[in-house]
Chain A
């Protein structure tokens, strides 16, 4: 894209975008850390993740301030306006993903205190997909890549499918041995957290598409999460 005649406008827009990329990287690390803490049953790491969430919130506040200042001082239009508004929305989505990572780290405390659950591979696979989706969507943002954003938008279905499988497994686990209930019920929240990560990444993908094309994605996103109506019978 051509440069602004007022070069400081380019500077503030590129700083805004760098902040978002930094926030995306931090949120990704938070998510990986929360999953690692859970897998390694490492309460110290979980604690660090919970604490680090403040950093994510701080970047979010910083981005909000930058957006306010751009709106007030630069009066952006067209693609600049779309970029500015999208930055605000994307930061909000990333901040929510950060919260979900923190919540996962919070729930892992109870899970760690209980006997280890068996057959939890699926939830970590799901975690991997969630991390990947966040990584991909931020890459699409950084590289102004519409196709990649649309790919992410479609990939959310995979997480939903994992979520259904994991949810059924956890319900069965609780039914088979009720001593698992404490850990399993926390684990269902973890699965739901990861499923929500996918939804937030999808929202980011929609914002990227809007910035780059000026159009909204018209079709309805496929909703694959069926946990709200799942019943497991013994």
Chain B
């Protein structure tokens, strides 16, 4: 903080006002914290009798991007859906163990899954805008959760969310047009704007770029990079390169087990487990 103030004074030759100091503090880069958003203890998921996850223990940091990687059927998407109780919607799915979000068990009876999903937003593989206008797509969440009292407030939320999702400049003159008319990449950013509009703390992404071209993927990755300062992001991806580019932590899943969880750089340069090594280098295990 001191350094930021000194630079500021140095650059304009004036002492900043208290208001400016507060603004600088607000926009100062997040200091490195190891605060934990989720604590997962012995998490198991069953589909009928089949155990899809075998007792996962893992802490997810409260900011930054955590990537979940592994071959198809390894349990990574199942694990992702644990965090906003999306598995509740699957018949015969059952979750055991404990998932604490800021120390609170998200599977306890006091937790309303609908409210939880406002705190823990989700973006899917295929963009799924509602068959409504761009504006209404983003305004949908704030409306049903009663987050905006006046039209003006709602306009602000819509604009802010679209700006944050990096879409505002492309759609500001056609907010009344249907969201489904946008390109794939734009639709995916619209869905992210819709998730952001209800001020979530966490964003879950299940292969968000797999249906996008390289330019749209790059824009999405740039967006993830910006969002990671403010949100806890968990991303499932099949692209090693994408996991390496966007995440700070990476977890490798294999046959329902969490095999290795470490800093992304370590996973991709010097993984400890042979199974991780074989998977990320494309070897037969």
Contact = CB atoms under 8 A, between A and B. Distances in A.
Query: How many A residues are at the interface, by size bracket?
Result: 10 to 19
Nearest to B270: A214
Interface residues of B, number: 16
Interface of A is mostly: loop
A2 B134 CA distance: 50
A5 B284 contact: yes
Contacts of B283: 1-5
B281 A80 contact: yes
A5 to B, nearest CB: 5
A219 to B, nearest CB: 19
Contacts of A2: 278, 283-285
A128 interface: no
B282 interface: yes
A5 B282 contact: yes
Nearest to B274: A2
Contacts of B277: 78-79
Contacts, number: 43
A77 interface: yes
Contacts of A77: 240, 244, 268-269, 280-281
A3 B270 contact: no
B271 interface: yes
Contact of A81 (B269, B276, B284, B285): B269
A81 B268 contact: yes
Contacts of A96: none
Interface string A93-116: 000000000000000000000000
Given A78-B268, A78-B271, 10 more contacts: A2-B283, A5-B282, A6-B282, A76-B281, A77-B244, A77-B281, A78-B269, A78-B281, A79-B281, A214-B270
10 contacts: A2-B278, A3-B284, A4-B283, A9-B282, A77-B281, A78-B271, A79-B281, A81-B268, A82-B269, A215-B270
